[in-house]
Chain A
Amino acid sequence: MSIYSKILEVQDLKKVYGRDENKTIALKGITFDVLSGEFLGIMGASGSGKTTLLNCITTIIKPTSGKILLNGENLSSFRGKKLADYRGNRIGYLFQDFELLDNLTGRENILLPLSIHGMNVEESVDKLFAIAKYLEIEEVLNKFPAQMSGGQKQRIAAARALISNPDMILADEPTGALDTKSAKILMDKLKGLNQDEKTTILMVTHDPNAASYCSRILFIQDGVIFHELRKQINEETQQSFYDRILTVMAQLGGGSANVL
């Protein structure tokens, strides 16, 4: 593991919504690292705080205390241009409902982060085709989202997340709106990217099937990390990892909660 360097460090992250009587503590001090080239999954039931965590990392909300460091730099110190640069350039996103602009063609959607950051779009056309080929979306590049299937939309979104060579991809329930077949294709592609291109992926999900593609999984409950699973690389099959995930989920859902 020593060849892996830390890309993202989350240190004692706390988030409190509301004040006084209405206070809700969403995150109670979470600490973990994301290593370069890792495929990290974060799982948890609704209300566990996983979306709050993701929103803190995407800078959509600000944490109450604690730090998030990207390659050693504190995210909360990012302002203006630097923040914008972080958002589109150093982090790529995949959302449950794709968040494609439906009045732009597939190609225009993919190139959008580049043009937003004022980069030369023409030079990236080769890269666009390479990614599109890998994700098998070449034939829908000139179509509008309304003319695509859900799986195609999510792969367009994946291409958009990859086009600017981000340090890390953040995926929020990427399979949430997809049928099983499309979800499998997407996860295969993401896994391929992770293994072949060493792309770092941080994925939030509550789908154990999707989670079984990860190399490590953090389970969150009530704002704290409750458990961690590591896949034994080269030793463990995806199926047995999936079984282990289910076991933890059963504990999360019933086990310890009932004991308490």
Chain B
Amino acid sequence: MFFDLVRRNSKRSRKENGIYFVSLIVSIVAFYIILSLGNQDVMIYLKTMESDAVNRLLALIPILYAVSLFFVFFLVFFANRYQLERRSHEFGVYLMLGMKRSRLFSLLFMENLWSSFLALLIGLPISIILSEIISLLTSRLVGLGIIGHRFTFSISAMLWTIVGFLGLQIIALLILSRKLVRKELLDLLEDKQEDKQHTDNISISLVQLIIGIISLTIAYVLGIKYLRTFNLIIVCLIFVSGIVGTFLVFRGMNALICLTIRKNSTKRSGLYTFTFRQLQENVLNRAGSLAISSLLILAALICFGYGVSIAMNANPSKGHAVDFTVQGQEKEIKEALNSAEIKPYVSNLFPMKLGFLRGEQDGVETNQDMVSHKFNWGGLEEAVKEQKFSEEQDMLLNMLDFHSSPYLISVSSYNQILNIKGEQPIKLRPNEVAIYRNSEFTAGNNILQNVLKNAPDVRIDNQSYRLLPNIYSDNLVADRSITISTGLIVPDDVFDKVIDQKHQPFCWNFALPKELVEKEGLMQPMHEVQMLLKDKGLEFESYLKSMGRQLFYIVAASYTTIYLAVLFLIIANTVIGLQFLMQQKKTSRRYATLSVLGSLPCDMCQSARKQIAWYFALPIGVAIVSSFFGIKAMLGGLLPSAYESNSKSLLIMAIVMVGFLFIIECIYMISVMKISDKHIEALNK
């Protein structure tokens, strides 16, 4: 009998509160996927190359999990409170009939346990399948090949998911039951309507609104101007003024709605006044949780924006040209690479000639036999100085100053790189040079690009060389054997004249044949060549390493941020949706009165739909405005280079983000609207 009641009650709760149940399942799936991150093919593979970084990330996951549990607790607590409030009359009847409070508590406890059990039963298989699909998809996307895939199932992830999830439920229920136990029986039996006093006194709200907007503006300005300083006080100020501002704006919104109603109520017919009075009541009574929901949506948008921008900027193919760089004696290298087993993997083998232009002040004393050269940035530096003062200009001038004698790259070597990429070679006349900047160093490139249009000159040994209008930025080696932030691409004869030939070529580069890559992908053959080169005892590096590192950043950033974004979004939306439905249930008598006064069911549904749309739109709107400034501040402060170089991809990111948000919100709004329609139709029967 008792278990029958438990089963029936929990079934009814799930039915009436489907959104919450689905959200629970989604959070279970998210929990498992993040906890089983270490079992993903990509991660297992990366562990072989970047074990330190991977281990550090995996060590961070428990913290991430704890943080997300904290936020999901908010959802569980709220949804359970809604359930209990809705059923308080029923509990009152149980107690009246002589049920002991401890028995009532165990009834509630068992109901929750049963629902949680079902959520786990549905959620866990989905999460296992989904994490397999993600694993397969990512490994395919990065070219790992799926042959090596094996089915993984993380018992520890599953156990932690279950423990965390059940723990949340129990703690939330314990806290709520304490409240329930303290209530008078009469309070339980009375199905109270919304009990807050209504007033049309808007002066306080108006003040709150104005202070809120000012406080938010302060947060925005501080964020954009000073976040990059990473001053703890400023970061705290941004957070405090942002959060306080959001809360006050929602408190003050009452004034806006009230003024709208006053202005329009006698002009508009239909349920206009009713619709907005309902909205006003909801916003007034729930300003706090609306503000929290709005902040959660903001956090989700920022997480999502951050993850996507990192993923997009860490594009592994950027600047990638050569696949292997080998260092050593020319004879040994050629012998090894021409051997029967390696030869099929080698194409475009060329010597990379680059060297440091030894200036007058550099190391002359220690190496007496070296010839020193004169260099200055000549016309380029002057042209940059003539530009309008800006932070960028300052950085660029510092950089030029720092590289008072730059690296030189021979144009024939650089043209080989362009050749591999299938791009047009650089044609340098005897008195021309081109500027090289690594793709990771882009500060000041906008000014540089501008200045280069007028073909300024640089001077090597008192000879003037005009700069080409383009900036070249392809990687000179496969990974990291040398990273040149800024250099000059010079004609071969100039290079031979001014660079000490003793150490040339710096290294040998080659790429994998295109046909092979097309047939077998990049990863697999690269792996094989690595083994072969290791056997030959050559000193080499491959693009694989660089790719692995990039891949790690992409996977780590996108997984964690998108995980948090999804959690924040479902929590915020479920809370907003439940709150609306809660108010609708509490005020269902008003709908009955409207019906008696001759309002058609379709009109009432329309009014409720309008309320829902507004009720969702308010927190989302505030979050979108804040996220615009938030993302701008974050990209300007945390990822300045990405911000400058990639305005187009930022735009794409913004579109993707808005689209993503739009879809999620539509799903939630439509399902809340459907429940509300059903509710109103039931009232009219």
Contact = CB atoms under 8 A, between A and B. Distances in A.
Interface of A: 58, 60, 80-81, 83-89, 93, 99-105, 108, 111-122, 125, 142, 144-147, 160
Contact of A86 (B271, B589, B598): B598
State the main secondary structure of chain B at its contact with A.
loop
Contacts, number: 98
Given A122-B267, A144-B200, A146-B197, A101 B593 contact: yes
A80 B598 CA distance: 10
B590 interface: yes
B15 to A, nearest CB: 27
Contacts of B600: 80-81, 84
> Considering residues A81, A85, A86, A112, which has the most beta carbons from chain B within 10 angstroms of its beta carbon?
A112
Given A103-B590, A119-B269, A121-B265, 16 more contacts: A58-B596, A88-B599, A100-B593, A101-B274, A101-B594, A102-B198, A102-B590, A104-B273, A112-B274, A112-B597, A115-B269, A117-B598, A125-B266, A142-B200, A144-B198, A146-B197
B269 A99 contact: no
A93 B199 CA distance: 26
Nearest to A116: B599
B16 interface: no
B598 A104 contact: no
A36 to B, nearest CB: 22
Contacts of B603: 116
A147 B267 CA distance: 25
Given A85-B598, A101-B593, A116 B271 contact: yes
Contacts of B199: 144, 147
Contacts of B267: 121-122
A56 to B, nearest CB: 14
State the main secondary structure of chain A at its contact with B.
helix
B273 A112 contact: yes
Contacts of A93: 596-597
Interface string B581-607: 000000101100111111110010000
Interface in B185-231: 193-194, 197-200
A101 B198 contact: no
**A-B pairs with lowest CB-CB distance, top 4:** A88-B598, A87-B598, A144-B198, A84-B598
Interface stretch (B143-151, B276-284, B375-383): B276-284
Interface residues of B, number: 32
14 contacts: A84-B598, A93-B597, A99-B593, A100-B593, A102-B193, A103-B280, A108-B277, A112-B274, A114-B269, A115-B273, A116-B594, A116-B603, A117-B598, A160-B597
Contacts of A117: 269, 598
B493 to A, nearest CB: 87
Contacts of B506: none
A83 B684 CA distance: 13
> Considering residues A83, A86, A102, A117, which has the most beta carbons from chain B within 10 angstroms of its beta carbon?
A102
A87 B603 CA distance: 15
Contacts of A111: 265-266, 273
Contacts of A118: 269-270
B198 A146 contact: yes
Contacts of B599: 84, 88, 116
B71 interface: no
Contacts of A101: 274, 277, 590, 593-594
B598 A103 contact: no
Nearest to B271: A116
B365 to A, nearest CB: 88
Contact of A87 (B272, B280, B596): B596
A235 to B, nearest CB: 38
Nearest to B277: A103
A101 B270 CA distance: 15
Contact of A103 (B265, B269, B272, B281): B281
Interface in B250-273: 265-273
Nearest to B598: A88
A102 B280 CA distance: 12
B330 to A, nearest CB: 87
Contacts of B265: 108, 111, 121
Nearest to A87: B598
Contacts of A160: 597
Contacts of B594: 101, 112, 116
A83 B109 CA distance: 47
Interface in B556-602: 587, 589-590, 593-600
B270 A116 contact: yes
B598 A105 contact: no
A122 B272 CA distance: 14
A116 B597 contact: yes
A219 B266 CA distance: 43
Nearest to B196: A146
Contacts of A87: 595-598
A142 B587 CA distance: 21
Nearest to A101: B590
Contacts of B589: 99
A81 B266 CA distance: 23
A86 B600 CA distance: 12
A116 B598 contact: yes
B284 to A, nearest CB: 9
Nearest to A117: B598
B255 to A, nearest CB: 16
Nearest to A125: B266
B202 to A, nearest CB: 13
A41 B268 CA distance: 38
Nearest to A100: B593
Contact of B273 (A60, A86, A108, A125): A108
A89 B598 contact: yes
Given A84-B599, A101-B277, A113-B598, A122 B266 contact: yes
A115 B595 CA distance: 13
B192 to A, nearest CB: 12
Nearest to A91: B598
A131 to B, nearest CB: 16
A210 B272 CA distance: 37
> Considering residues A84, A100, A103, which has the most beta carbons from chain B within 10 angstroms of its beta carbon?
A103
Contacts of B198: 102-103, 144-147
B166 to A, nearest CB: 40
A141 to B, nearest CB: 11
A115 B268 contact: yes
B482 to A, nearest CB: 72
A89 B197 CA distance: 30
A83 B198 CA distance: 32
A114 B596 CA distance: 13
Given A104-B277, A115-B273, A121 B598 contact: no
A102 B598 contact: no
Nearest to A145: B198
Contacts of A99: 589, 593, 596
B487 to A, nearest CB: 71
Contacts of B270: 115-116, 118
A102 B200 contact: no
B592 to A, nearest CB: 8
Nearest to A114: B269
B272 A115 contact: yes
A101 B271 CA distance: 12
Contacts of A60: 596
A58 B593 CA distance: 12
Contacts of B596: 58, 60, 87, 93, 99
Contact of A121 (B269, B587, B593): B269
Contacts of B590: 101-103
A174 to B, nearest CB: 15
Contacts of B281: 103
Nearest to A123: B266
Contacts of A119: 269
A89 B598 CA distance: 8
A160 B596 CA distance: 12
B129 to A, nearest CB: 47
A103 B278 contact: yes
A113 B594 CA distance: 8
